[in-house]
Structure 1
Amino acid sequence: MKGTVSTNQKVELEYQVNTSPGVLFKRLSTPHGLSEWFANDVNLSGNVFTFIWDGDTQKAELVDKKENKFVKFRWITEQNEAGHHFAFKLTKDELTGEVSLTVIEEVNEEEDIDEVVSLWNYQIGELKRLIGA
């Protein structure tokens, strides 16, 4: 795993995942797939995903996706304002066949970068455990 933080408060984390892009994409882009590792439950209405963690809910709009390549969401705030983006990008090395998952998240200046990194490390660890990677 490699991590970088740019000056505009964007966190990028890269993970090697031993699976195919197709298997990984389903876990990143569907309510069922996301509920297996990202949240306790996930509901979809139109292009708005509702993530539920121990009674706490957060909504995110699916902004864009390309099958087996990337998924991009935008958090929706309580005031229904557009919030920060987070995205999953899949890359397959043509030479080695290795699949990389890059998590990209915009964060507020006051957010603890170490906490964001730690949370994603845990979540992606759950994902890798689930798919046997």
Structure 2
Amino acid sequence: MDKVKYEMEFPIQASPALLYQYISTPSGLSEWFADNVNSRGEVYTFIWEGSEEKAKLLSKKSGERIKLRWMEDVENEDAYFFEMRIQVDEITKDVSLMITDFAEDDEDEINEGKMLWENMISDLKHVLGSA
């Protein structure tokens, strides 16, 4: 089944520099995204309660964004990815975390993906003290 792209925006009360540490480093991601995260070169390993998923780093822009592709999608030559991008409003200086991800083209799958991100971002806000 084909996947569809969806995007979400989460206002975050934190400096872009601090937020970037939490979305781009294994230690930062271990605080909220997965139980444990390791990286070897361009490959990140995410561990949740004993299960393990690997993702390939597609691009990273310091202080701004990180884009990864799950290895299953790399092996299937699928163009799907997930990206976490920091956006700062030029006027208000409000900081938001923009999420781009893909889910199977099914309303339940998309809602499940969004709910998962909402829960994870809630954990991130807790860790940042912005909840």
Q: TM-score, normalised on structure 1?
A: 0.88
Aligned counterpart, 1:113? 110
1:37 maps to a residue whose letter is W
d(CA) in 1 for partners of 2:24 and 2:50? 22
Deviation at 1:81, TM superposition (A): 3.7
1:127 to 111, 124, 131: 124
2:81 to 72, 82, 85: 85
- Preserved CA contact (<8 Å) 2:104 2:110: no
1:39 equivalent in alignment to 2:34 = yes
Indicate the structure with greater helix content.
Answer: 2
Question: How many residue pairs get matched?
Answer: 126
RMSD of aligned residue pairs (Cα, Å):
1.7
Q: Tell me: higher relative CO, structure 1 or 2? Use CA pairs within 8 A at least 6 residues apart.
A: 2
Deviation at 1:78, TM superposition (A): 8.6
Aligned counterpart, 1:3? none
- Gaps of at least 5 residues in structure 2 are none
- Gaps of at least 5 residues in structure 1 are 1-7
Label 1:92 to 1:77 Cα distance change in 2 as closer, same or farther (>3 A).
same
Compare 49-58 and 88-97 and name the one that shifted more: 88-97
Label 1:97 to 1:46 Cα distance change in 2 as closer, same or farther (>3 A).
same
Q: TM-score, normalised on structure 2?
A: 0.89
1:91 maps to a residue whose letter is Q
d(CA) in 2 for partners of 1:131 and 1:87? 19
